[in-house]
Amino acid sequence: MRKPMVAGNWKMNGSLALVNDMGRALAGVDCSAVDVLVCPPFPYIGPLRRAVPDESGVALGGQDVSRYDSGAYTGEVAGAMLAEMGCRHVIVGHSERRAMHAETDEVVVDKVQAALRAGLTPIVCVGETLEARDAGETEQVVGRQLDAVLDLGGFVVEKLVLAYEPVWAIGTGRTASPEQAQAVHAFIRQRTADALGDELAQRFPILYGGSVKPGNARELFGCADVDGGLIGGASLDPDGFLEIISAARP
């Protein structure tokens, strides 16, 4: 049975006040049934690590990672740096990175490999735009993004977490219905099974990301192939984030 995960992506939001509030909120979280992860902006990783008690089991992650291990890459952050700061995971290929920073599937694959070299678990994001969905190209787009990662082979893929995030549902207030989310998650799992075998596909965690809130989390997480969520705006509210974590418990 796949263990659910709830990962908070603060994006370029937050403050030291939020770090302290979130630390207090997460201090008593039971992570035995749900893996809980918070990905704050880079400057807040250290303070959040200090604010969240080690015994809570809550993990930290980065929002991005360089495809390079070190060197003259101003503004980049290496996987080893994230690991040294206590991160266990890193988000790779988020739709905002793909769109705003022109990250190709090739770049995403390079970042997956860089994260793994540093001992981090990549959370690899895939998803289609509204135009692609309206054109009936969801499986074509998601399949292409997924195949770039599946081509790395089962030895790599078994170390990943995948997140399906329909671009049209990110920060828009629109949310994929449970039926829409399940259909794409099932497609991802079947494509993984076709490429790498059913055993790996059934162990492969797939999160849903896109305007998940306390009010819709339980229904989304109840889908057979949805293994939790990559939470954006709602992860900035400590109380709401706790509600979403509770909704993910089996």
Tokens, residue 24: 């207090």
- Of 94, 96, 103, 128, catalytic: 94
Q: What is the mean pLDDT of the chain?
A: 95
Cβ neighbourhood burial of 126 (10 Å; 0-12, 13-18, 19+): buried
Report the CATH number at residue 75.
3.20.20.70
pLDDT band at residue 172 using 50, 70 and 90 as cut-offs: confident
pLDDT given for residue 21 in this prediction: 97
How confident is the model over 119-160, as pLDDT tens digits? 999 999 999 998 999 999 999 999 999 999 999 999 999 999
Residue 165 annotated to the active site: yes
The helix (run of H) or strand (run of E) holding residue 3 is none
In sequence order, which residues have a C-beta less than 8 Å from that of residue 232 and are 6 or more positions away? 9, 11, 170, 171, 209, 211, 212
What's the gap between Cα 238 and its chain centre?
Answer: 18
- Of 89, 96, 165, 185, catalytic: 165
pLDDT given for residue 174 in this prediction: 74
pLDDT band at residue 169 using 50, 70 and 90 as cut-offs: confident
pLDDT given for residue 95 in this prediction: 94
Which residue type sits at 7?
A: A
Q: How far apart are CA 76 and CA 64, in angstroms?
A: 9
pLDDT given for residue 140 in this prediction: 97
The residue range of the domain holding 182 is 5-93+101-248
Helix residue ranges per DSSP H, the chain: 16-26, 45-51, 79-84, 95-100, 105-117, 130-134, 138-150, 154-157, 178-196, 198-203, 217-221, 238-248
Report the chain's C-alpha Rg in angstroms: 17
Q: How far apart are CA 104 and CA 98, in angstroms?
A: 6
Structurally, the chain folds into a number of domains equal to 1
CA distances (Å), 202 to each of 25, 143, 170, 190, 215, in order? Answer: 32, 18, 27, 9, 28
How confident is the model over 61-110, as pLDDT tens digits? 999 999 999 999 999 999 999 999 999 999 999 999 999 999 999 999 99
